[in-house]
Structure 1
């Protein structure tokens, strides 16, 4: 949904938060871009209050930064911050997988396989939005099976920071056969009940992703000019 589509007043700050978050992920609100609550409120057809609330939440998860009285802007893509976020997500995903495998059901495995089929179809269609949504559904299965609300909340807060990069460089980072094949291998290891092996396989995938992202930083593909 476009950022300029008016928001129903009953949805208010929750909908504004999701709308702004998605606009940042897609690059409609670019890294380093200054934003004003009044201008955003006008675009969304709302008062400033829900916009301010949404911007505060976005600051909490690292998508917006503010210097009171000076600026509010979209955070830039910083290698150090990305590396730290990836390290945490890798550890959390490994914890989720290792915890989930002993209690995963056949339905869980079916959901993972279906999500991977959806992911493969989205990659073939070069549909970044659908591919990222399918990838999220795939990884959400073990997170839900792990039944750890704290883990779930932290992952939900961190994912948008990585999605900003995945969205811009999807074909480089996730668009190849390697991710589809990784998903398929992970499902089979989970089905076999080897929790430690499944967690190690998940960690390897995150490490590979981190390596690819570092290469993009090395070649200056996240500079303002490259993202324009």
Structure 2
């Protein structure tokens, strides 16, 4: 689709990370479609910034696998490639497994309550077909143990590879995300009970519920 017209511009004082997040989210939510060409000048005008942070953001998006840059030609949104998503998913699953294993039994009552509330919102979003709300709630559930652990290395890995998997997850939640509600419930209760091995196993398995047919585009 063409660059969106109108909409609030990014404040010129925002850091490069904010430009990156805006472009990343526009790819994940489908504003920019697979195969679409991204021109730094048009993107800079849309966001209300110079071309420099846009070019830096595109480089980061390339490292995450969300865009493909052809030297001297163009930068395009990548397709949802099964092997690439599979690899990213496996890394993400391992990171969440580690975070949950190290925080099970250590999360406070407020943390557990936040996860339960996010799962309630997730269930409601799935029932209503609100994919964006479902993805937001799902991310909040899984981010609680990661945030509590405070391992910057894990956070960096997730920031790099999570968007690639989130694009594929939109397809799954668009079809049926009800099975994830029960998996989230099991995860939360095992964490609350301090069952580190059990919670870590569920955390790992959750990310492997993304079936092969949902990880490829056009298949």
SS at match of 1:104: coil
Give CA deviations for 1:80-119 in whole Å, capped at 9, x if unaligned: 1111111111111111110110322222111111111111
With 156-165 and 51-60 compared, the bigger mean Cα shift is at 51-60
Instruction: Look up the match of 1:206.
Output: 207
Give CA deviations for 1:54-104 in whole Å, capped at 9, x if unaligned: 212212222122122122111221111111111111111111110110322
Pick aligned residue for 1:165 from 164, 168, 180: 168
> Do 1:109 and 1:191's aligned partners in 2 also have CA atoms closer than 8 Å?
yes
Higher RCO (C-alpha 8 Å, min separation 6): 2
TM-score w.r.t. length of structure 2:
0.90
SS at match of 1:103: coil
SS at match of 2:37: coil
**Alpha-carbon separation, structure 1, partners of 2:172 and 2:178:** 15
Instruction: Look up the match of 1:99.
Output: 102
Pick aligned residue for 2:217 from 201, 215, 222: 222
Give the paired residue count. Answer: 215
> Do 1:26 and 1:168's aligned partners in 2 also have CA atoms closer than 8 Å?
no
TM-score w.r.t. length of structure 1:
0.86
**Alpha-carbon separation, structure 1, partners of 2:157 and 2:87:** 14
> Do 2:106 and 2:194's aligned partners in 1 also have CA atoms closer than 8 Å?
no
Q: CA deviation at 1:133?
A: 0.6
Instruction: Look up the match of 2:141.
Output: 138
Q: CA deviation at 1:20?
A: 1.0
For structure 2, the 5+ residue unaligned runs are none
**Structure 1 residue ranges (4+ consecutive) displaced by more than 4 angstroms after TM superposition:** none
SS at match of 2:104: helix
Identify if the C-alpha distance between structure 1 residues 78 and 188 changes in structure 2 by more than 3 Å, giving closer, same or farther.
same
**Alpha-carbon separation, structure 2, partners of 1:162 and 1:109:** 25
Instruction: Look up the match of 1:61.
Output: 64
**Alpha-carbon separation, structure 2, partners of 1:78 and 1:52:** 23
Pick aligned residue for 1:40 from 40, 43, 46: 43
**Alpha-carbon separation, structure 2, partners of 1:3 and 1:141:** 33
Identify if the C-alpha distance between structure 1 residues 112 and 47 changes in structure 2 by more than 3 Å, giving closer, same or farther.
same
**Alpha-carbon separation, structure 1, partners of 2:16 and 2:106:** 37
